[in-house]
Amino acid sequence: MKNPDRKKFLDIMLGAGATAWLASILYPISKYLIPPSVPDSNVTNVDVGSITEFPPNSSKIIRFGRKPVIVIRTKEGDFKALSATCTHLDCNVQYKTDTEQIWCACHNGFYNLEGTNLSGPPPKPLAQYNVRIANEKVIISSEDMS
């Protein structure tokens, strides 16, 4: 090579050109692969039915916006509403009527009715929702009412 500087210059130009070319293809593809995020439907209240649909010591999973929420009626007749999404790996939890605890079948995680993680792999407590009874109807809300 007669002129090493010239070769170096050409190498750099070629490398930079190839990189820019690749980026201009990969960038739109990587963006395309992630779907546009659907704005949270701003749900703050959900009417989940009349009290009579919840016998004591029972539960039901309902949809709160896009999230599943478990509504529990305790043996004493109180209502609890908690996120139904296990904080471990995303399974839906269930209410265990015999021990009156919340149980995740996927990896045997336990929570109490306040959502506190008791045993098993769950690293965090379940988020709590507010429950209000109005005209015999059970209403779940996410806003802080205290």
Q: Which residues bind another protein (CB under 8 A)?
A: 33-35, 37-38, 61-63, 66, 68, 70, 84, 86, 88-94, 104-108, 117, 120-123
Q: Which of 72, 104, 131, 140 binds ligand FES (CB under 6 A)?
A: 104
User: Tokens for 45?
Assistant: 């209240």
- How many other CB atoms are found less than 10 A from the CB of residue 84? 24
Smallest distance, Å, CB 53 to another protein?
A: 15
* Closest CA relative to residue 112, chosen from 141, 82, 142, 68: 82
Q: Which of 107, 124, 132, 137 binds ligand FES (CB under 6 A)?
A: 107
Binding mask of the shown chain, residues 72 to 101, with x at each position contacting ligand FES by CB under 6 A: --------------x-xxxx----------
d(CA 132, CA 5): 78
The answer to whether 47 and 137 have CB atoms below 8 angstroms apart is yes
Burial class (CB in 10 A: 0-12, 13-18, 19+), 129: buried
- Which among another protein, ligand FES, none contacts residue 33 (Cβ within 5 to 8 A by kind)? another protein
Q: Which stretch binds ligand FES (CB under 6 A): 29-37, 45-53, 57-65, 104-112?
A: 104-112
